[in-house]
């Protein structure tokens, strides 16, 4: 299920496995959150310079991970933005 959704991309799968390990969410909860995040990014796609990048799996998994970091530490999130 996750493998298919992330199109087998190694970086996206690594990000997903780290997220699952750190948050202890179920695979189903992860997929639901992934889908909501992906839809949100599609609504804002004009803001991203990666419009030719079709499925945006890596952008989606990165965004999910970033949001989790931001919830835990605004300072750490700020450093990731530098």
**Domains contained in the chain, number:** 1
Tokens for 41? 């990014």
Q: What's the rounded mean pLDDT across residues 45-73? A: 80
B/e letters for 14-43, b = 16+ CB within 10 Å, e = fewer, are ebbeebeeeeeeeeeebbebbeebbeebee
Q: Tell whether the model's pLDDT for residue 55 goes beyond 80.
A: no
Digit-coded pLDDT (tens) for 8-54: 999 999 999 999 999 999 999 999 999 999 988 888 776 655 555 55
Coil, strand or helix at 54: coil
Phi, psi of 51, rounded to the nearest 5 degrees: -60, -25
Q: Which domain holds residue 23?
A: 2-81
């Amino acid at each position: 299920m996750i493998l298919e959704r992330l199109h087998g991309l190694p970086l996206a799968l690594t990000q997903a496995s780290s997220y699952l390990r750190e948050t202890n969410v179920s695979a189903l909860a992860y997929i639901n959150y992934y889908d909501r995040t992906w839809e949100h990014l599609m609504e804002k796609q004009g803001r991203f310079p990666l419009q030719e990048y079709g499925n945006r799996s890596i952008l989606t998994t990165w965004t999910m991970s970033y949001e989790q970091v931001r919830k835990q530490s605004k300072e750490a999130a700020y450093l990731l933005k530098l």
